Amino acid sequence: MKKLLISASLAASVVLPSAAQAQAIPPAIVAVVDLERVTADCTACKTATAALRAQVQAYQTHESSLAAPLQSEQQSLQTAVNALNGKEPDAALKARINAFQTKQQNGAQELQRQQDQIKRNQQYVQKQIADKLGPIYSQVMQRRGANVMVEQGTTLATASALDATNDVLAALNTSLPTIQTTAPAAPANAQQGR
């Protein structure tokens, strides 16, 4: 019992001095940023958003242009199969069915590649913005004398004097005049996995 008390008192003597040396945390000086507004109103962001929207519309148009003839061909093949009344299709009909399935698979793969590229483009745009915003947050905090920056959407209420959105937006417009909307090609091993 005596050894246990001595061990406990030694452990306490080691912990107590380090706790006493801990520094007091300075009071929080908060700046608030409306990140949604920053990314919607930044000049390069608007241009990038329009370009991404055009990519999505081009995808939808291409999808429709592939689907219409395939749908017609599928109906034609279904009519031919139904006319057989359960009989085995001849070699010509089997060849048409196989050709249709190949076209359908190729179209689906093509659309998937285009869809993957659009997703990579969106992520690439977001990364470019995020890469610029990190240092901007630090600069704005330093200029404003803040030691904490929070997104406006995570707060219940704030005073307008805490709002640093305009500072962040102006700095982003200066440091990010353009945004690339086409991501670099995916690594070859990622494309082979398809």
- Using one digit for the tens of pLDDT, what is the confidence trace for 131-178? 999 999 999 999 999 999 999 989 888 889 999 999 999 999 999 999
Q: Would you call 87 helix, strand, or coil by DSSP?
A: coil
Spell out the domain ranges in the chain: 27-184
Residue pair 33/148 in contact (Cβ under 8 Å)? The answer is no
Report residue 136 CA to chain centroid gap.
20
Q: What is the pLDDT of residue 21?
A: 59
Q: Which comes out higher in pLDDT, residue 141 or 16? A: 141
> Shortest CA distance to 151 belongs to which of 171, 137, 132, 161?
137
Measured from the Cβ of residue 172, the count of other Cβ atoms closer than 10 Å reads 21
Residue 30, beta-bridge partner list: 148
Rounded distance between C-alpha atoms, residue 37 and residue 39, angstroms: 6
Q: What is the pLDDT of residue 176?
A: 95
Q: What is the pLDDT of residue 190?
A: 56
Question: Does position 102 have pLDDT exceeding 90, yes or no?
Answer: yes
Single pTM value for the model: 0.75
